[in-house]
Amino acid sequence: MMGAGVAGLRAAIELAAAGRVLVLAKKEAGVSPQPAPDMTLSDEDEVTLHLQDTLSAGDGLCNPAAVKILLEEGPGRIDELMAWGRPRGTKLVFGLENAHSRHRSLHAEGESTGGEILRALRTKAESLKNISIAQFTFSTALLTDAGHITGVSLLDEKGVPQEVACSAVLLATGGMGQLYRNTTNSAEATADGVALAYRAGVEVSDLEFIQFHPTALYMKKVPRFLLSEELRAEGAHLRNLEMNRFMGKYHPMGEQAPRDLVARAIVHEMEVSRAKDPFVYLDLTHLNSSKVQKRFPRIYATCMQHNLDITEDMIPVRPAAHCAMGGVRTNLDGKTNVEGLYAAGEAAATGVHGANRLPGNSLLEGLVYGARAGQAMRQEAKPVSRPTAEPKAAYSNGPVDAGVEELIVLIQALMESELGVVRTRMGMQKAVTTLEEMAPKLAHPKTRRAYEASNLHLAALLVARSALAREESRGAHYRREYPDHDDKKFLKRSVIRGDKVIFVS
């Protein structure tokens, strides 16, 4: 298993019945790098309504069969989880989130549902003797022979290159937010799965669709902490630098408009402000102060660490890259077009999300599709010639290759300006040309950071090529010169095969 998040751990638990499972994590395993407050599901809910909300967020590109599986298998996966390790704050609450028509966001323990899910999965995985977890182990490539996976090469915790033989691999490496200068994602989200898969000849899909969360905390030298949608659902207002509320100009639902519309409205307000370093404000000062502190303890505490009292001060915010809808193309069992290679979770493109994610569906996807991939991988279990190979050569883990950080900053700045919330042909072409010129500098990575830079570079090119090919606006992909849907040509998913972007129904 490449990855020890929700998808990787859930798959490992399923696969352990069939043989030995090695779970790799480039940092600590089973730790939530960010607060993931919600998972969508409700006992009282009509599955059909949740299905409709998901399909409507996906803007015509969801695979309805994939969504149906998510919603039908979700309750069973959550019951299992509760049996393995009931979230500590046993009270589960359902809330209303942006783009949902019913209260179906499940919270455990205040705002840390993702952390509680990972805790339960890790405890279960550690109780199974067939599962070993290798932390701080960085996968660098997939090994294939005659179109079949034969193993993985990696840098171990000391930075020494190794090869591990295996009969199947699951890519569960998470998202690609680090492609952007402003992101809610952790430093681990460097698109490794997509890059490794593409280099191994695997199809990747829907990469042009990157969801930007409209409201991430924007303060100098402070991580782009996510200020959840629920703040606006509780009545928070957005104000421009002149302190005027503006969402009413853009959408009748005001602050409750869909995520991508709010992000675009903020970008427009930032453009017209002509400020050198623009942002807008999220304003909660009119809401009941103790209610805000009680309802959002983690957000309140985090902002207080930066001397910002959200009950009294305006919060500076900007949109930030949040989730990837695309990834490694799979069927409904997580299988890719290379034998023995599977993908699940945010690294995968199962068709659940289409052109945009419904908030809160991601953790559920990791559970449901992680389990499905683990089940499907059981058929691949067979003895491998050698469980681990000897180290090939020793490389130092640091200092980082000269210039690598500068290249990463360049890639992130380019993606932020040319492949952000609003895109143009000229900007994206410039991005592709600049990235192509940069390629030789990243061709021979040796350290982890250089591998990450190389993966980010490749993923950036793939995102840019997909976005250029989609000459319309849909879901999270917005092009200034094509502001509308073009269903005739583009009611299809993008797939990258080799150096071609094609569109398939």
Residues with catalytic annotation?
Answer: 259
**Taking a C-beta distance cutoff of 8 angstroms, is the pair 75, 46 a contact?**
no
284 makes contact with ligand FAD (CB under 6 A):
no
358 makes contact with ligand FAD (CB under 6 A):
no
The residues with which 388 forms a beta bridge, in sequence order, are 164
Give Cα 365 to chain centroid, integer Å. 11
Q: How far is the CB of 34 from ligand FAD (least distance, A)?
A: 4
Interface with ligand FAD (CB under 6 A), residue from 184, 350, 356, 494: 184
Q: How far is the CB of 79 from ligand FAD (least distance, A)?
A: 18
The region of 44-52, 270-278, 362-370, 435-443 touching ligand FAD under the rule CB under 6 A is: 362-370
Angle subtended by helix axes 361-377 and 113-126, to nearest 10: 20
DSSP H helical ranges for 139-191: none
Total residues in contact with ligand FAD, by rule CB under 6 A: 38
**Taking a C-beta distance cutoff of 8 angstroms, is the pair 169, 393 a contact?**
no
Structure tokens that stand for 158 in this block: 């000391």
Give the separation between CA 333 and CA 8, rounded to whole angstroms: 14
Interface with ligand FAD (CB under 6 A), residue from 12, 16, 21, 36: 36
Give the separation between CA 468 and CA 208, rounded to whole angstroms: 8
**Taking a C-beta distance cutoff of 8 angstroms, is the pair 463, 419 a contact?**
yes
CA distances from 143 to 19, 153, 168, 260, 354 (A): 20, 7, 11, 38, 30
Interface with ligand FAD (CB under 6 A), residue from 74, 114, 319, 427: 114
Give the separation between CA 254 and CA 247, rounded to whole angstroms: 5
Site string for ligand FAD, 120-139 (x = CB under 6 A): ------------------xx
Q: How far is the CB of 273 from ligand FAD (least distance, A)?
A: 26
Instruction: Tell me the one-letter amino acid at 468.
Output: L
Site string for ligand FAD, 297-326 (x = CB under 6 A): --------------------------x---
| Of 349 and 501, CB closest to ligand FAD | 349
**Taking a C-beta distance cutoff of 8 angstroms, is the pair 15, 21 a contact?**
yes
366 makes contact with ligand FAD (CB under 6 A):
yes
373 makes contact with ligand FAD (CB under 6 A):
no
Structure-token match 């395993």, residue found: 29
Interface with ligand FAD (CB under 6 A), residue from 18, 19, 20, 34: 34
- Interface with ligand FAD by CB under 6 A: which residues? 2-8, 24-27, 29, 34, 36-39, 114, 138-139, 172-175, 184-185, 188, 192, 226, 323, 345-347, 360-363, 366
